[in-house]
Amino acid sequence: MAMSSVVLIIGGFLTAAIFIGLFRRLALHAQLMDLPVARSAHSLPTPVGGGLGIVLIYAVIATYLHLINILPLQEYMALLGGVVIAVVGLIDDYRHLDIKWRMPLQLLAAIWSVWWLGNVPAIQFGNWLLPESWMLNLLAIIALIWLLNLYNFMDGIDGIAGCELVFVNAMSLLFVVNAEDQIITLLTATLIGSGAGFLVWNWSPARIFLGDVGSGFIGFSLGVLALLSMHHGSMQVWTWVILLGVFIADATVTLCRRFMQGARWYEGHASHAYQNAARKYQSHAKVTISLMLINCLWLAPLAWWSEQSPQLGFYLALAGLAPLVVLAIRGDAGNAKFMSVQRKAGN
């Protein structure tokens, strides 16, 4: 299993780097570009849709695992919900799709994935256990929709979304290998490799953007992987919350503040704490590296602790998120001096 993971990481990296490089040339020729607007973090027209490479590689590997009887039908069908999200995102990248169409499709994809996986396993909130119930299934559907939009919101500067993808899956790989969860081991290895391949082209200064096709797919797929790991008993939900802590804290604080200000949460803006920091320090790389240091030095040890002591998972998640929420507030999340009501065009 370890050797298979290495092969998938290397193979995914090379395939993604080559495919995205070729797609970039096609996008340039076909003028599939993200044009800068007032709130953009870039000043030059840049190809968009690089996330398609990650989607295709993941879909091919998942299909192969299903055909060789490693990935069961119900789990394969649940993963296909991410493909629906990717198609919706691809359309939105090049032919703006109104929210009245996007949200119902996102809801249907989330319902589809949760239905195929079956009832969500019980979740422990400290000393209180929330048993299997329709309420947990509903929460899982809401969480999937939030995660795909959250990841889209946080894909706003060069390298940030790709680095987060690699970090979360690298940590998850360590946990699921230890738990001998073959399916999630192979899927996370695929995402690590393809995410690293994408970063070849997306590291500052980015030569192609992830696009909604990639950001929505990644957020949704991480949520499905979290549900899968819970069903397999290889990871608990609070470990995933910890690993995604930076994205969860910034996006949630920003959304809440914008909601309280009466702004439309689903419309484009540039008021996340990480975007404010990128403008302040005039560097995408500095902000992305800083966030990865927080991941590695703060969240990674807490995630490891939560897996070693599952009964503490809820408390460790709260402890991990608390300073990040404070950091987002101090970073003026959701309260930037300029907010555009134009739709999100990318990084």
CA triple 215-216-220, angle to 5 deg: 120
Instruction: Return the structure tokens found at 257.
Output: 């503040």
Q: What is the mean pLDDT of the chain?
A: 92
343 falls in which pLDDT band (50, 70, 90)?
very low
Q: Is residue 53 part of a domain?
A: yes
Asked if the structure places residue 311 within a domain, the reply is: no
Is residue 254 included in any domain, yes or no? no
What residues contact residue 170 under an 8 Å CB cut-off, 6+ apart? 188, 192
Residue 43's pLDDT band (cuts 50, 70, 90): low
The pair of three-digit structure tokens given for residue 316, joined into one six-digit string: 């460790």
Task: Indicate whether 284 pLDDT > 80.
Answer: yes
Residue 46, pLDDT > 80, answer: yes
Residue 341 in this model has a pLDDT that exceeds 60: no
Tell whether the torsion through CA atoms of 316, 322, 327 and 331 is positive or negative.
Answer: positive
Are 201 and 137 a contacting pair, CB within 8 Å?
no
Comparing CA positions, the residue from 118, 206, 122 lying closest to residue 161 is: 206
Structural domain boundaries enclosing 85 = 2-237
124 φ/ψ angles, rounded to the nearest 5 degrees: -95, 120
Separation of alpha carbons 258 and 41, rounded Å: 20
Helix axes 284-294, 160-178, angle to 10 degrees: 20
> Among residues 297, 317, 340, which one has the least CA distance to residue 249?
317
Q: What is the pTM assigned to this prediction?
A: 0.94
Averaged over 254-278, what is the pLDDT?
Answer: 85
264 falls within a domain? no
Label residue 261 by pLDDT band (50, 70, 90).
confident
Whether 253 contacts 273, CB under 8 Å: yes
pLDDT band at 268 (very low <50, low <70, confident <90, very high): confident
Least confident residue range of 260-269, 274-283, 288-297, 300-309: 260-269
- DSSP letter, residue 342: S
CA proximity to 307, closest of 320, 316, 319: 316
Average pLDDT in the 169-194 region? 97
The answer to whether residue 270 sits within a structural domain is no
Q: How many domains does the chain have?
A: 1
The pLDDT assigned to 346 comes to: 38
- Let me know if residue 298 belongs to a domain: no
Domain for residue 228, yes or no? yes
